Structure 1
């Protein structure tokens, strides 16, 4: 995976679900959320004239990062999940799938890239990192419509 090109792809297309300058969030080793404002960081040899991608890559050398690929909103009455991403979609979930994933309520989804690597995990994060228990949650690989849709969106937007 070309992480720099993937970040460029996401920030050039994410206006309808997140501010492009907030598309990357630091995730600590215990999966709690750190800052999502890479532009304000002064450590990791980040310079003011570095572009957003360069700043994110410097952070990745020292921290796990979460790249936001979209937002999820679950609709309990209809057992549906609205997905706001490069293309907005609604998927109908079985009762079992809704019980499994419906607790996510409204969250961002994307990939967590392990520090100083190209290894990634598909998962979700809280919309607001200001809560004390805000964290990254892995979405387990399963043969469900929900997982297949999220995986497809992510794979279509990762640049190799």
Structure 2
């Protein structure tokens, strides 16, 4: 079973390269549209002022899904590359097939969506900015291709069981 609090601590301890530690989590509604990413300003869900960031997320998870940002990626057309930024940076050369499969978005943040009232999670991505009316979470289709395998490897290194 995933230890949600320890996983959040682990992500926040090393995320300065790609995101502010206070903005590592985003509320995701059941329709997968993005909610607030300012966890420290949420005042419902029985959250108290003295609750830690991790305690707040655990309380929110009783009512909402939460996306944890583990990095970001950007696809480079013409040369079929993908740059991945997380604790470390990676540059992947993709086959035409792989580029076609995954490069439908230019820049996205990736991580895990923890489903409310559970410890189940889905690997996926969100828009860089949640300010657009259609900003949403999108599941990344599992495959044996290098892009997905690299994202999974990075994510697996952050999850604590």
Query: Shorter chain as normaliser: what TM range?
Result: over 0.9
What does residue 142 of structure 2 align with?
141
CA distance in 1, matches of 2:39, 2:19: 14
SS of 1:78 mapped into structure 2: coil
Task: Return the offset for 1:129.
Answer: 0.5
User: Any runs of at least 4 consecutive aligned residues in structure 1 with deviations exceeding 4 A, and if so which?
Assistant: none
Query: What is the deviation of 1:77?
Result: 2.7
Match of 2:125 in 1: 124
1:112 aligns with 2:113: yes
Q: CA deviation at 1:143?
A: 1.4
TM-score by length of 2: 0.97
Q: Provide, for residues 59-112 of structure 1, a one-character-per-residue CA deviation record: whole Å limited to 9, x for no partner.
A: 111100000000011111321111100111111110111111111210000000
Structure 1 CA distance, aligned partners of 2:49 and 2:77? Answer: 45
1:54 aligned residue: 55
Alpha-carbon distance between aligned partners in 1 of 2:120 and 2:27, rounded to the nearest angstrom? 15
Relative to total residues, which structure has the larger helix share, 1 or 2? 1
Which residue does 2:37 correspond to in 1?
36
Q: What are structure 1's unaligned runs of at least 5 residues? A: none
Instruction: Write the deviation string for residues 23-67 of structure 1: whole angstroms up to 9, x where unpaired.
Output: 000000000000000101010111111111111111111100000
How large is the Cα RMSD of the aligned pairs?
0.7
The match for 1:156 is: 157
